[in-house]
């Protein structure tokens, strides 16, 4: 039974039986993520006061300028997850290869891998716009007692055992699923505790918000252009409202609460799409489906895509079920 204002710790303990491999492991893993999130949140909230904003002078594996907070968040999440005896490997959007964690006794007995985007939307930090962290958890497939392998990370999204995000905004929220619905917890900064504020979160079946970078309109496939025109038509419940923050976590979070669709399609500038399958699309798709929404690449279910590489990019359509279905109909008519 969901009780509003439960702490995250109480909620995890009460719902531990829903986790397929119940032995306190999920509790320790989510605890390490919530701890790292509190540390990163502290830095995000003082970003205008100290030298933590701006570019770090390096680029990540994606060829993108790393922001100082990107690097800081990446280090803090890796450090916190490594110190808990549960994770055998970590893959980050900020790192070229995965990290192997042998464990205290160097026995490689830990069972889970975590994939993450440590600070999504970090280019917004300098202008005080919400950013977030996205995480995805899988049970390893390689034999326990051996070092983690690439195959442990290249699993289709439907094999996730948990996924979630933290949004650092006017309030800080942790939203996650273990495959039994979606629940949101808000950080009380005075007490340092997370409280259940948004139980059993659901996408409305339809909405009136569409979120896309329309500056790329000329580069989009014909099907996407036609869907945008559909959203802008004066008919019945349209035109829809255009809302695009440029932070996937923030756009997704708003659309889940209010009803809407987020899409980042292929384009002549990004022929494979821009968002990463493993660090962004799979965890958000898992959350969306658990909240009654839908997520696809415009043609196929995101969670059924077989990953080929760690930093694979895919087009992404995600949000209220009926809106995503409608977008897919336009893509089917004009895929090029």
Annotated binding site for Mg(2+): 93, 117, 119-120, 280
Residue-wise DSSP of 82-104: HTSTTEEEEEETTSSS-EE---T
How far is 101 from 247, CA to CA, in rounded Å? 30
For every residue of 29-52, DSSP letters joined together read HHHHHHHHHHHHHHHHHTTTTTTT
Q: Which residue from 171, 188, 162 is spatially nearest to 283, judged by alpha carbons?
A: 162
Query: How many residues does the structure list for the chain?
Result: 336
Q: Which residue, 71, 176, 70, is CA-closest to 124?
A: 70
CA-atom Rg of the chain in angstroms:
19
Could you list the residues known to form a binding site for substrate, using ranges.
120-123, 213, 244, 274
Rounded to the nearest 10 degrees, what angle do helices 282-290 and 248-258 cross at?
10
* Burial classification of residue 285, based on how many CB atoms lie within 10 Å of its CB (0-12 exposed, 13-18 middle, 19 or more buried): buried
Task: Give the Cα separation of 168 and 173 in Å (integer).
Answer: 7
| Known binding-site residue numbers | 93, 117, 119-123, 213, 244, 274, 280
Look at residues 293, 291, 299 and name the one whose alpha carbon lies nearest to residue 315.
299
Closest CA to 215 of 195, 244, 240: 244
């Amino acid at each position: 039974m969901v009780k509003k204002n439960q702490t995250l710790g109480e909620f995890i303990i009460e719902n531990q039986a829903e986790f397929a491999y119940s032995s306190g492991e999920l509790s320790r893993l989510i605890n390490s993520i919530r701890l790292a999130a509190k540390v990163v949140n502290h830095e995000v909230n003082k970003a205008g006061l100290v030298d933590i904003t701006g570019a770090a002078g390096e680029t990540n594996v994606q060829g993108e300028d790393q922001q100082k907070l990107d690097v800081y968040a990446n280090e803090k999440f890796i450090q916190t997850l490594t110190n808990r005896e549960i994770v055998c490997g970590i893959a980050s959007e900020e790192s070229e290869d995965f990290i192997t964690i042998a464990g205290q006794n160097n026995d490689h007995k830990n069972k889970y891998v975590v994939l993450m985007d440590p600070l999504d939307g970090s280019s917004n930090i300098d202008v005080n716009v919400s950013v977030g962290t996205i995480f995805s958890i899988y049970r390893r497939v390689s034999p326990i007692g051996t070092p983690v392998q690439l195959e442990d990370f290249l699993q289709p999204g439907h094999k996730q055992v948990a996924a979630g995000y933290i949004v650092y905004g006017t309030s800080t929220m942790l939203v996650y699923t273990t495959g039994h619905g979606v629940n949101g917890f808000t950080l009380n900064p005075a007490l340092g505790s997370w409280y259940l504020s948004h139980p059993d979160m659901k996408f409305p079946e339809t909405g009136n918000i569409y979120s896309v970078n329309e500056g790329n309109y000329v580069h989009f496939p014909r099907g996407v252009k036609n869907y945008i025109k559909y959203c802008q038509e004066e008919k019945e419940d349209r035109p829809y409202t255009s809302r695009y923050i440029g932070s996937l976590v923030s756009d997704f979070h708003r659309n889940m609460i209010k009803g809407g669709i987020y899409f980042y399609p292929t384009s002549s500038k990004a022929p494979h799409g821009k968002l990463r399958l493993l660090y962004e699309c799979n965890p958000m798709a898992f959350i969306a489906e658990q909240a009654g929404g839908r997520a696809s690449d415009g043609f196929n279910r995101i969670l059924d895509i077989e990953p080929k590489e760690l930093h694979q990019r895919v087009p992404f359509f995600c949000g209220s079920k009926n809106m995503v279905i409608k977008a897919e109909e336009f893509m089917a008519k004009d895929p090029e």
